Amino acid sequence: MEAIATLEQVSYLYPGATEPVLKDISLTIQRGEFLGIIGPTGAGKTTLCLALSGIVPQFYGGRFFGRVTVAGMDTLDYPISQLARHVGTVFEDPEVQLIGTSVENEIAFALENLCVPRAEILARIPRVLAAVRLQGFEQKNPQELSGGQKQRLAIAAALALQPDLLILDEPTSQLDPIGSQEVFATVRTLQQELGIAIVIVSHAAEEMAEFADRIALLSQGRLIAVGSPDDIYAQVELLEQHHLRAPEVSAIYHALGQQGITLPAVPVTLAGGLAALPVISTQGNLAPPPAFSSPVIDQQPPILSAQHLTHVYDNGTQALHDVCLDIRPGEYVLVVGQNGAGKSTLVKHFLNLLQPTEGTVKVRDRDTRHLSVSELARSIGYLAQNPDNQIFNTTVEKEVAFALPYLGYPPNVVQQESLKSLKAMQLWSQRQTHPLSLPKGERARVVIAALLAMQPDIIIFDEPTTGQDYQGACSILEVSRQLHQMGKTVIVITHHLYLMPDYAQRVIVMGQGTILLDAPLRQAYHQTELLQSTYLTPPQSVLLAQELSRLSSQDYPLITPQEFAQCFTPELSEEVWA
């Protein structure tokens, strides 16, 4: 196979940095291959992508060692604009990377910069729009597109340059499941039909295992391992060591392996996992389905209540229709659904940021229409998707105490409450640190400490795991667990179902402004058809458990890899795989 890009002993330090962000990396990318790059935050993944497009070091400066070639051109010898003809790049943030005022302008922009004749630009626009299935959108403003459409447009703009190599740096981290699926499907088609080499950085382990030809694992600037998804994702311990998550299928079969049920090769895709199931399930080493206790239904009066809630926006869009919902004190509720399903609109009613068009919303027994936003803020703490928007001060301590004087707390109470909050959120030792110098997961913890100082009964997390790596997501969810253990009512809005089994008790699935399902988590996760109908991806453990139920004719309502692995007894394993 012919190489389209090579890195030879590449090391790089950003200007002013003392530690290299890339350390002695050698890697060859073949023409037409799909290479996935994985690694924890700070591994150097983005820098590696920028090195392939010549932006590192040409734009940033710094100290660069080794050699990078793209389409036979040394990235130090050719200007970025010339390299751009061979390397297309799609970035993480769909808002920032689209600079055109219309879809066709967005595609034309780079071509205009490269002095491509107008007739040629006009010829390429429909071709690339067809490749990403955005025909008919030429005159639309990019801001009117959905997240997935925006990323597809960014891909189309990169494709218009007719690159040999397309680099996508976490293109799905800010998208909902539909958007994410759209992007992966588009990229795979491009690779298969146009033969473009793809380099994609992503935390979406299940998708990477499915689509990539090879995976490169980066950690702390070093290339730790390169291999097929089967090689890399089978090494669950190696991934855990680098704070990465394996696909659930790998986690399950790895756990089985640790129990002595070893396979010749650990399956890493759902199809592989399903195919391996009949072998183990017919050999008689399957334990009977475990009994899971049903959650106790609390009869306390609701702390949050929406009755026949309908909301119509000024432009006539009906965002909520006849929603009835009671949340009781001490519950941990997960709200899931696509963008536009009505999740945020519902939550904004609890905070009185929106008022019902019809129906009522109550916090305890008080109608929110009679409460101000700040009064409600004392009962409900709201962690925004971007915690940085809620940070205004120069130290963690000042941040936590910031709102309290405005609420009329005397200075001694301000001090007392902020101290209590800082200790509860394990921030006491960092109280003099600038909040924005902390990692994102920690910044969320600072905002939660600030909310906690107001002693709310309810905490709402709005998409807390979006844009986070696995470790960051887990650290925020651990905080949510801690708050729940403190007796708070916790509501989490997220698309990442696989992260939640250890935390939430109840799931509310929303779609098209209505509640499609309101059930205990275990029950809700097994409504796979309903979840898939609203483009939510059930965890692989659930899908494997359903297949196991079908094969064994018993009901296995399992939801985590651990539960799944525990259903198999190790004694018979040798016979099974012998």
- Residue count of the chain: 578
Is residue 218 within 8 A of residue 43, CB to CB? The reply is: yes
Q: Which residues pair with 360 in a beta bridge?
A: 307
Amino acid at 359: G
Among 112, 237, 502, 555, binds another protein (CB under 8 A): 112
Of 384 and 438, the one with the shorter C-beta distance to another protein is 384
Q: Which residues pair with 553 in a beta bridge?
A: none
Radius of gyration of the chain (CA): 26
Cα separations in angstroms, 327 against 75, 320, 506, 517, 518:
58, 17, 10, 14, 11
Among 130, 265, 271, 373, binds another protein (CB under 8 A): 373
Amino acid at 423: K
Of 391 and 565, the one with the shorter C-beta distance to another protein is 391
Of 382 and 568, the one with the shorter C-beta distance to another protein is 382
User: Rounded to whole angstroms, how far apart are CA atoms 127 and 108?
Assistant: 12
Of 89 and 172, the one with the shorter C-beta distance to another protein is 89
311 phi/psi in degrees, rounded to 5: -135, 125
Does the protein bind another protein through residue 153 (CB under 8 A)? Answer: no
CB of 211 to another protein, least distance (A): 23
CB of 381 to another protein, least distance (A): 8
Among 188, 378, 420, 481, binds another protein (CB under 8 A): 378
Among 129, 157, 371, 543, binds another protein (CB under 8 A): 157
Of 79 and 278, the one with the shorter C-beta distance to another protein is 79
Does the protein bind another protein through residue 96 (CB under 8 A)? Answer: yes
Does the protein bind another protein through residue 151 (CB under 8 A)? Answer: no
Q: Around Cβ 482, how many Cβ atoms within 10 Å?
A: 16
Is residue 2 within 8 A of residue 31, CB to CB? The reply is: yes
Of 140 and 243, the one with the shorter C-beta distance to another protein is 140
Does the protein bind another protein through residue 103 (CB under 8 A)? Answer: no
Which of 332, 473, 449 is closest to 401 using CA atoms?
449
Among 389, 412, 429, 553, binds another protein (CB under 8 A): 389
Does the protein bind another protein through residue 390 (CB under 8 A)? Answer: yes
Residue span binding another protein (CB under 8 A) among the ranges 209-217, 218-226, 258-266, 379-387: 379-387
Specify burial of residue 330 (Cβ count, 10 A radius: 0-12, 13-18, 19+). Answer: middle
Of 69 and 235, the one with the shorter C-beta distance to another protein is 69
Among 104, 417, 463, 547, binds another protein (CB under 8 A): 104
Contacts of 219 (CB under 8 A, 6+ apart): 39, 40, 43, 242
Does the protein bind another protein through residue 370 (CB under 8 A)? Answer: no
Which of 567, 50, 571, 574 is closest to 281 using CA atoms?
567
- Where in 434-453 is the site for another protein (CB under 8 A)? 436, 450-451
Name the 3-class secondary structure at 408: coil
Residue span binding another protein (CB under 8 A) among the ranges 209-217, 239-247, 274-282, 398-406: 398-406
Strands (E), 394-537: 458-462, 489-493, 506-511, 514-520
Footprint on this chain of another protein (rule: CB under 8 A)? 50, 53, 55, 59, 80-81, 84-85, 87-89, 91, 93, 95-97, 99-102, 104-105, 108-118, 121-122, 141, 143-144, 157, 351, 353, 372-375, 377-378, 382, 384, 386, 388-393, 402-403, 406-407, 436, 450-451, 454
